[in-house]
Amino acid sequence: MDIRTRFAPSPTGDIHLGNANTALFNYLLARSGGGKVALRIEDTDVERSRADYEERTIDTLRWLGLDWDEGPDRGGPYGPYRQSERLETYAVHVRRLIDGGHVYRCYCTREELVAERGRAGEERKSRGCPGGCRLRAERQAGGKPGGGTPFTVRFRTPDNETVVVNDMLRGEIAFRSAEIDDFIIVRSSGAPVFLLTNLVDDALMGITHVVRGEDHISNTPKQLLLARAFGYAAPEYLHTAVILGPDRSKLSKRHGAVSVEQFRREGYLPEALVNYLAFLGWNPKDEREIFPLGELVREFSVKAMSRNPSVFDHRRLLFLNGQWMRTIEKDRLVSLCSRRLVEHGYITAAEADEKRQTLEKIVAAAGARLKTVADIVPQADFFLTEDFPYDENGAAKHLKDEETAVTLEAAAERLRSGRPRSAAEMEEIVRDFIGETGVSSKKVIHPLRMALTGRTEGPGLFEIMEILGEERARARIARAVEYIRRRGGSV
Ligand code: GLU
């Protein structure tokens, strides 16, 4: 059987880690078996769906590196792939359910329904429909409200059956039909509901496997009942494990970033996110940690998936991101970092081009300090302006007395040469200076770093000196000397 899976996002917000996680597993399941993936936009909730969210969803999925064979953006044999363009199909299906006697009209008011929802199991009447609409419909009894009274269409759930969901991860999960509500399939507005549209489309689009979050498990028996009513073969279902926050409650905004876009803004790499997302529900059963998407496709198997909840571990994601920052092509890393500096207004796009070589050196000097692309800002800002502030504690400690001012002045003189020098040459000069003057290296290195960067930590001092060049380094030292004297440093 050729595997066909789908991403079925609802464009009601930015996609979050949970959506991306299930999208990834749909992708891996299809691609690892040479199958196809479709993108279907589930936008039947007119009030909450927005076209810009659809665009962003597609953009985010692409950014993650996922791709699909069919979708609203590229067509395909089972289109349209946007549910709002398939309303006629759903209407035909609703008609089939009406003709088959599988549904009835429910005239219960919102107030009645709200009151019903508050009732506990035993007291609940006719599964979600408190007004006896089902009975009335069955008896064909009169007393129906007059025309124009709003109604929903409910599925007539069978009374005493067991509906078995055969989940690919969890095995058989049995539901007693008596505990399943007569679920609504058409709202009073006439809009078909997710349970129906999703099942109908999976069937018509030839979807063989549905991978979705555990929170959908209670929907699945209802959809199996619908499939049977239509005479459709239901797809296989795999409900992925829920993702929990560090406090083991369901991952939500309370725990910090949850939307993929936010991680993107915070400077995470798509490779790292995908790599990490794969670990939320799957693992290679060995020590390996770095998995490009292609390798995930090769290694993936449902057997290696877990149904136990996974706990989102920000530190691990950050660690993986740091690894990926050193795995991707240097050129791309430099471009990403430059773009970030442009976005933050440290340089213009034109300057980023002109200063490309310098930026390459800045990125190299930052090295493993770059855990995310965003980290380039504190690693690079002082290179790009002469007007950086001094870290207060650092200045109090290392730019404080006339002795330091004198040492810095002498060091600046040593740097005078009129030609560019490598980090190694800079190091030699400073080491010689320390050796000859007998000033302790701490009293040279720390004030120099403060003078050149305004802070106590950062890239290697000699790399910094190479990047700045003699002239700028000396000007910065002069500024620090002036600062010391202005503050009235005494010997
Ligand atoms: N639109 C649904 C959601 O975003 C799809 C669920 C499914 O994959 O069946 O939750």
Q: What is the pLDDT of residues 110-138, one digit of tens each?
A: 877 777 777 656 555 567 787 778 877 77
Which atom in ligand 1 lies closest to the alpha carbon of residue 42? 1
pLDDT at 453: 98
Q: Which atom of ligand 1 is nearest to the CA of 19?
A: 4
Closest atom of ligand 1 relative to the 22 alpha carbon: 8
Residue of 6, 21, 42, 86 to mutate, ligand 1, most atoms within 8 A of C-beta? 42
Distance 63 CA to ligand 1 centre (A): 20
The closest-lying atom of ligand 1 relative to the alpha carbon of residue 212 is 8
Indicate the helix (H) or strand (E) that contains 382: helix 376-384
Closest residue to atom 9 of ligand 1, CA basis = 212
Q: H or E stretch including 403?
A: helix 402-415
Distance CA 71, CA 55 (A): 12
Distances (CA, A) of 140 to 60, 66, 105, 135, 182: 51, 52, 12, 8, 18
Which pLDDT belongs to residue 455?
96
Q: What is the pTM of this model?
A: 0.91
CA 341 to chain CA centroid, nearest Å? 22
Write out residues with Cβ below 6 Å of ligand 1: 8-10, 42, 198, 210, 212, 216
In the reported structure, the alpha carbon of residue 8 is separated from the centroid of ligand 1 by a whole-number distance in angstroms of: 5
Q: What is the DSSP letter of 250?
A: B
Note the pLDDT of residue 491. 43
Residue 120 CB partners (closer than 8 Å, separation 6+): none
End-to-end CA distance of the chain, in Å?
85
pLDDT score for 1: 78
Determine the distance separating the centroid of ligand 1 and the alpha carbon of 325, expressed in angstroms. Answer: 32
Residue among 22, 26, 193, 194 whose CB has most ligand 1 atoms within 8 A, to mutate: 194
Identify the burial level of 370 via C-beta atoms within 10 angstroms of its C-beta, where 0-12 means exposed, 13-18 middle and 19 or more buried: buried
Output the residue whose Cα is nearest ligand 1's atom 8. Answer: 212
Q: Whose CA is nearest to atom 5 of ligand 1?
A: 8
| Residue type at position 196 | L
Instruction: State pLDDT tens for residues 405-420.
Output: 999 999 999 999 888 8
- Beta carbons within 8 Å of 392's beta carbon, 6+ residues apart: none
- Residue 399: CB partners within 8 Å, gap ≥ 6? 390, 447, 450, 451, 480, 483, 484, 487, 489
Distance CA 98, CA 229 (A): 11
| Mutational test site, ligand 1, from 212, 215, 242, max ligand atoms within 8 Å of CB | 212
SS3 readout for 32-59: HCCCEEEECECCCCCCCCCHHHHHHHHH
Regions in the chain scoring below 70 on pLDDT:
119-126, 140-147, 489-491
Please state, in angstroms and rounded to a whole number, the distance separating the CA atoms of residues 127 and 137: 15
Q: Alpha-carbon distance 28 to 17, whole Å?
A: 16
The catalytic site residues sit at: 253
User: In which residue are the tokens 């959809």 written?
Assistant: 223
- 48 alpha carbon to ligand 1 midpoint, in Å? 15
CA–centroid distance, residue 211 to ligand 1 (Å): 9
Residues with Cβ within 8 Å of residue 299, at least 6 apart in sequence: 284, 291
Q: Strand, helix or coil at 164?
A: strand
Which of these, 192, 198, 186, lies nearest to 41 by C-alpha position? 198
57 CA → ligand 1 middle, Å: 13
